[in-house]
A and B are shown apart, each in its own frame.
Chain A
Amino acid sequence: MADTSKGIDELETAQDTARLKRVAIEPLTRVEGHGKVTLLLDEDNRVQQARLHIVEFRGFEKFIQGRPYWELPVTVQRLCGICPVSHHLGAAKAVDQIVGVDALTPTAEKVRRLMHLGQTLQSHALHFFHLSSPDLLFGYDDAVAHRNIVGVLADHPDIAKQGVLLRKFGQEVIRITAGKRIHGTAAVPGGVNKAVSPQERDELLPQADQIIEWAQGALELAKRILFEDLESARSFAAIDTNMLSLVRADGALDLYHGGLRALDPAGQPIFDHVDYRQYGDYIHEQVKPWSYMKFPFIRSLGPDAGAYRVGPLARVNTCDLIDTPLAENARQEFRAFADNGLVQSTLAYHWARMIELLHCAEGIKILLDDPEIMGHELRVSGQMRDHGIGVIEAPRGTLFHHYEVDEDGLVTRANLIVSTTNNNRAMNRSIRRVAVDHFDGREVTEPLLNRIEIAIRAYDPCLSCATHALGKMPLEVELLDAEGQRVSRLYKNSKGEVGLPDREPTPRGCYIGD
């Protein structure tokens, strides 16, 4: 296996920053939330330092201190407008434990699982069709004005339409299970407050086969794009990392529940089937002075060697099987691609994501066909406990919710490790890989900067989650000389138009009115 770490780790911190010029990519576009990348270049335009920063921090853990535990599954959805269902369910799983419930009724568990599959389907569809397909279909060097979903609509109307309809179906699954299309309230301590009605089921079940077919098409498309330029797809932003996810007791992919499994880059287990309530014994978080986002790592390996990746790439690599037939076939093909070792190519995230999309489509059909989703046993209760830990595989990866409550039922402490935070170090290493491979000595151009964003986008990071802040903003690139003087400035608005900004940015870097 090629050593992909060569030359990139020293780019976390440059030796001497005094004479370097700074390029900031801020904010990142077509990722969810607000982040920026800074590059320090020497006089020959060689990259000396590359960092992904998270700009804002809202301190959600602090915000929920002193709040009643029973409102958590609803309040934490405010963390993020992108995958609220994952937070809803992650918190609900933690709160189940607080009310002393270790096993739900079959109806409650199936309704929650269905909700989660709907969420993952819509999230994966959104990411692939809206956020990534412009790069993938048109290439990195396509004109900025065209390299967006509008361009996809114009050139590939069928693909764009399927993306929209897949996403809509996912949202409908969420609506019938969560009670609302966004910010539902169905998961309550110890179960759910509603089952699916026969009418709701009948609305969606007839569409399930079509959805599976489109998901197959999306998977084929993701694969075709990757294989078209296999060599650069393999090497682009490639890093070798450990991988972490939940797996079911039999090793199957399970997005809702399971034990923690971590594999090393060679595919050997670091730990397996760990009860996630013990996560603190296995995963620690490192704080770095230059970033608000923490850097989690596998404790036994230390902060550097212990970095890992989560999300579709990790999950399809770590599991031993997928329990739906079409996605299982795709998984086998995926693993064969790396001779049954781990597929480490960063762009393979897209491939893995579409395998999961197909799995969700199949899984939704199975559950919609299951009469238990319409059952009447919705909740159980138990003896109150003073803490609860819920872990779930969110669309972007493993998500940890951990709460402690006092005897009054109010939260005294909360710790959340969101999916994107788990990928923090890996994303940083991937952009350094791109910086080394593509930037050195070349003049900084928009397509070059977009390569950095493509690397980040492959992870589908949710920076709004990771920073617990919301907002989508345009892109501002500044080139400063060694003295910190601005040499030039480039600006891309939310429509993708590039030009010189004619207004000063507001203090938070956004343009009022955009």
Chain B
Amino acid sequence: MIEHFSLDGKRIPFQPGQTIMDAAMQAGEYIPHLCHNPEFRPRGSCRLCVVRANGRSVAACTSPAREGLEVESDTPDIQADRRSLLQMLFVEGNHLCPACEKSGNCQLQAVAYYCGMLAPDFTHLYPVRELDGSHPDFVLDFNRCILCELCVRASRDADAKGVFGISGRGIGAHLIVNAPSGKLGDTDFDPHDRAAQVCPVGAILPKHKGYDVPIGRRIYDRKPVSLVGDVADHQEDMS
């Protein structure tokens, strides 16, 4: 017998072992998220997918679905929390969308639109972070990294290379490259790696391409993220 839970009043079927997020995605229902990608083990770190399940706040990507669970996601207070989380992501890095080549192909930006985030209320931290252009085909712009760990997981689990890692804790946490020099050019990172295709923001970018696809013809230019889905599913549309 197929079991069900409810998501904002809709009946969502699920198989045993599925998370709330898995089942929602399968049913075509959107729960905002940034660090989740069904290909990889969930991390639950971005907290955007936090929903209320039978009154308790849980991350949809890590919480198992259960029969009869009443899940709320699209409510004014949960959306407000998401906007705050998004604002924090924006002020922690240097996100100047109008001058960012990922604009329109960026999941952070798309989710921010979806959740109705306007200009951040928090003080910008304006961290000073240098780019790593040492790789012949890719550039790393740490200014825009949101520590979703998708590249870390993809490189470790899909590519079996372990090119990326996270170092430091709390506000000091940052993306690192596993090479003695710390430079991407000194790793075996390759354009065909899955890790080269999963970054939801403009942190891992192919070189020399920038604006080859005009603004206006990008994946989130016409339809919202709730219909388009994740950046990682649209690599062919981005180059």
Contact = CB atoms under 8 A, between A and B. Distances in A.
Interface stretch (B82-90, B107-115, B155-163, B206-214): B206-214
B214 A406 contact: no
Interface in A32-84: 66-68, 70-71, 73-75, 77-78
B90 to A, nearest CB: 17
Contacts of A186: 214
A183 to B, nearest CB: 6
A375 interface: no
B101 A74 contact: yes
Contact of B99 (A66, A74, A194): A74
A89 to B, nearest CB: 14
A303 interface: no
Contacts of B99: 71, 74-75, 77-78
A193 interface: yes
Interface in B140-195: none
A408 B207 CA distance: 9
A409 interface: yes
B104 to A, nearest CB: 9
Interface string A243-265: 00000000000000000000000
B215 A408 contact: no
B6 to A, nearest CB: 42
Contacts of B130: 66
A78 B99 CA distance: 8
A74 B133 contact: no
B211 A70 contact: yes
B131 interface: yes
Nearest to A67: B131
Given A67-B131, A409-B207, A188 B212 contact: yes
Given A68-B139, A75-B99, A184-B215, A406 B210 contact: no
Nearest to A407: B133
B134 interface: yes
Contacts of A184: 215
B139 A408 contact: yes
Given A70-B209, A78-B98, A408-B139, A193 B133 contact: no
A267 interface: no
A188 B139 contact: no
Contacts of A73: 211
Contacts of A68: 131, 133, 139, 205, 207, 210
Contacts of A193: 211-214
A188 B210 contact: yes
Contacts of B211: 70-71, 73-74, 185, 188, 193
B133 A409 contact: yes
B131 A179 contact: no
B76 interface: no
B101 A408 contact: no
B182 to A, nearest CB: 14
A410 B133 contact: yes
B216 interface: yes
A179 B215 contact: yes
Interface string B107-141: 00000000000000000000000110110000100
A495 interface: no
Interface string A393-411: 0000000000000101110
A442 interface: no
B212 A408 contact: no
Contacts of A410: 131, 133, 139
Interface string B209-226: 111111110000000000
A409 B139 contact: yes
- B101, B131, B208 — most chain A CB neighbours (10 Å): B208
Interface string A188-202: 110001100000000
A180 to B, nearest CB: 6
Nearest to A193: B214
Residue from B96, B99, B131, B139 having most chain A Cβ neighbours under 10 A: B99
B133 A406 contact: yes
Given A406-B133, A408-B139, A194 B214 contact: yes
A183 B214 CA distance: 12
A188 B131 CA distance: 21
A68 B206 CA distance: 11
A484 B21 CA distance: 68
A71 B101 contact: yes
A70 B208 contact: yes
Nearest to A70: B210
Contacts of B131: 66-68, 410
Interface in B10-24: none
A189 B208 contact: yes
B84 to A, nearest CB: 26
A113 to B, nearest CB: 18
A58 B133 CA distance: 25
Nearest to B130: A66
Nearest to A410: B133
A168 to B, nearest CB: 20
A180 B212 CA distance: 15
A410 B135 CA distance: 12
B215 to A, nearest CB: 5
A170 B176 CA distance: 47
A300 to B, nearest CB: 38
A65 to B, nearest CB: 10
B96 to A, nearest CB: 8
Given A67-B131, A68-B133, A408-B139, A185 B214 contact: yes
A230 B90 CA distance: 57
A305 B135 CA distance: 49
A77 B98 CA distance: 10
A391 B207 CA distance: 25
A143 to B, nearest CB: 38
Interface string B25-69: 000000000000000000000000000000000000000000000
8 contacts: A71-B210, A73-B211, A74-B210, A78-B96, A180-B216, A188-B211, A189-B208, A193-B211
Q: Which 6 A-B pairs have CB atoms at the shortest separation, nearest pair first? A: A408-B133, A70-B210, A75-B99, A185-B211, A410-B133, A179-B214
Given A66-B131, A78-B99, A409-B139, 15 more contacts: A70-B208, A71-B101, A73-B211, A74-B99, A74-B211, A78-B96, A179-B215, A180-B216, A185-B215, A193-B211, A193-B213, A408-B133, A408-B134, A409-B208, A410-B131
Interface of B: 96, 98-101, 130-131, 133-134, 139, 205, 207-216
